[in-house]
C-alpha cells in the first residue's frame, strides 16, 4: 500500500498540479494535512482538484482553510460563531489576513462547502496501521489541531513533541501521526527517540540531497511532509512524502515546478509581501504565533 502525503498547498496550483502528476499511478491513497488555500493566487483551482477526487483519500482542516471559510461565511452574512471562537485565539500575519479575504472573495459555494466539511483531525486504519492526521498538533482542542505548531527538531526536543501526544489518547495509540503547518519536513521515531529534519542542515548551511528513504520498521513515527506550495525548509521546491506501508519506508521528495509562472500570477493577484519570492521559497525565518 502506497500513501502519498502532502500538506500546505496555499493556493499554489502550479505546484499542486506538478506534484499530483508525479504521484499519478504511484499511490493508492492520498492524504492532505490542510491549508489547501490562503496566501496564493489560485484557491478555486486548488480546491477544484479535490471536489470529485476519485482516489481514496483523507483530508483535514488547516488554519488558513478555517480563515477563508469564515470570511466567506461573513460575506454571505452567515458567519460561524464556532470558527470565530477559534480564529480569535491566534493571529495571522498582515499579508495573510489580506490574502484570506481575497481567497474568500475568489471562491464559490462548492469550494466553501469543501472547506466547511474538512475535519479538524481524522483517525483511521490503513493496512493494519492506525493513522492520526491533523494540521497542527494532536489534541482534543480544535484550536491546537489547526493553529499550534509541532516543531521539528532541533527547534523542539523530541521528548517535548512526544509529551504533547498525551493531550489526545487517540494520538498516543496511533502507529503513524501526520502533521503539517510548519512547512518544514521531519520524522521522529517515537520508541527510539531518533529524529531527522532539514532544520539542522539549514543552520549548518549545508543541503541534503533528496529523495531520502527512512525505514521505520515496527516503530511508531511522527511525520511532517513539508509544504507543497510554500516550502520553508531550504529547498525552494515542493516537498512531500510517499509512505510504503508494506516495506515500512518513508520517502521524502523534493520536486521543482513552474515557479516563474507562479510568481507572474502572484504579482497580479497577491499583496506585495506575498509577491516577494523569498517569502515563498527557502528562508529559514523565525517561528512565532503568527501564521
Q: Which of 88-92, 123-127, 285-289 has the highest mean pLDDT?
A: 123-127
Sign of torsion over alpha carbons 219, 126, 6, 71:
negative
Cell triple for 241: 512524502
3-state secondary structure of 182: coil
Nearest Cα to Cα of residue 133 among 222, 46, 196 = 222
User: Could you count the other beta carbons within 10 Å of the beta carbon of residue 141?
Assistant: 16
User: Is the confidence at residue 288, as pLDDT, over 60?
Assistant: no
Indicate the average pLDDT of the chain. Answer: 90
111 vs 210, higher pLDDT: 111
Sign of torsion over alpha carbons 36, 280, 17, 22:
negative
What residue spans define the domains of the chain? Answer: 2-280
Confidence of residue 133 (pLDDT cuts 50, 70, 90): very high
Range name among 67-71, 117-121, 287-291 with the lowest pLDDT average? 287-291
CATH fold for domain 2-280: Purple Acid Phosphatase; chain A, domain 2 (3.60.21)
User: Is the confidence at residue 203, as pLDDT, over 80?
Assistant: no
User: Could you count the other beta carbons within 10 Å of the beta carbon of residue 222?
Assistant: 25
Residue 196 has a pLDDT of 77
281 vs 244, higher pLDDT: 244
Range name among 41-50, 208-217, 240-249, 261-270 with the lowest pLDDT average? 208-217
* Whole-structure pTM value: 0.94
25 phi and psi, to 5 degrees?
A: 85, -5
Cα–Cα distance for residue pair 198/20, rounded to 1 Å: 23
Q: Judge contact between 187 and 195, C-beta under 8 A.
A: yes
Average pLDDT over residues 247-251: 95
Amino acid at each position: 500500500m502506497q500513501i502519498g502525503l502532502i500538506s500546505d498547498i496555499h493556493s499554489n496550483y502550479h505546484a499542486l498540479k506538478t506534484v499530483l502528476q508525479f504521484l499519478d499511478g504511484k499511490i493508492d491513497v492520498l492524504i492532505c494535512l490542510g491549508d489547501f488555500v490562503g496566501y496564493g493566487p489560485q484557491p478555486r483551482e486548488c480546491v477544484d482538484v479535490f471536489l470529485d477526487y476519485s482516489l481514496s483519500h483523507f483530508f483535514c482542516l488547516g488554519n488558513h482553510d478555517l480563515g477563508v471559510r469564515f470570511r466567506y461565511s461573513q460575506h454571505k452574512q452567515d458567519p460561524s460563531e464556532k470558527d470565530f471562537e477559534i480564529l480569535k485565539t491566534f493571529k495571522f500575519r498582515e499579508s495573510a489576513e489580506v490574502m484570506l479575504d481575497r481567497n474568500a472573495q475568489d471562491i464559490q459555494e462548492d469550494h466553501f462547502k469543501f472547506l466547511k466539511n474538512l475535519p479538524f483531525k481524522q483517525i483511521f486504519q490503513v493496512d493494519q496501521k492506525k493513522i492520526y492526521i491533523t494540521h497542527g498538533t494532536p489534541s482534543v482542542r480544535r484550536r491546537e489541531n489547526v493553529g499550534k505548531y509541532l516543531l521539528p527538531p532541533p527547534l523542539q526536543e523530541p521528548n517535548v513533541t512526544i509529551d504533547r501526544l498525551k493531550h489526545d489518547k487517540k494520538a498516543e495509540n496511533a502507529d503513524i501521526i501526520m502533521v503539517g503547518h510548519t512547512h518544514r519536513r521531519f520524522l521522529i521515531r517515537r520508541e527510539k527517540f531518533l529524529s531527522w529534519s532539514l532544520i539542522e542542515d539549514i543552520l549548518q548551511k549545508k543541503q541534503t540531497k533528496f529523495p531520502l528513504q527512512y525505514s521505520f520498521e515496527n516503530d511508531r513515527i511522527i511525520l511532517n511532509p513539508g509544504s507543497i506550495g510554500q516550502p520553508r525548509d531550504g529547498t525552494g521546491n515542493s516537498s512531500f512524502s510517499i509512505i510504503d506501508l508494506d516495506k515500512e519506508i518513508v520517502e521524502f521528495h523534493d520536486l521543482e515546478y513552474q515557479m516563474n509562472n507562479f510568481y507572474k500570477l502572484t504579482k497580479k493577484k497577491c499583496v506585495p509581501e506575498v509577491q516577494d519570492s523569498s517569502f515563498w521559497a527557502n528562508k529559514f525565518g523565525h517561528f512565532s504565533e503568527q501564521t
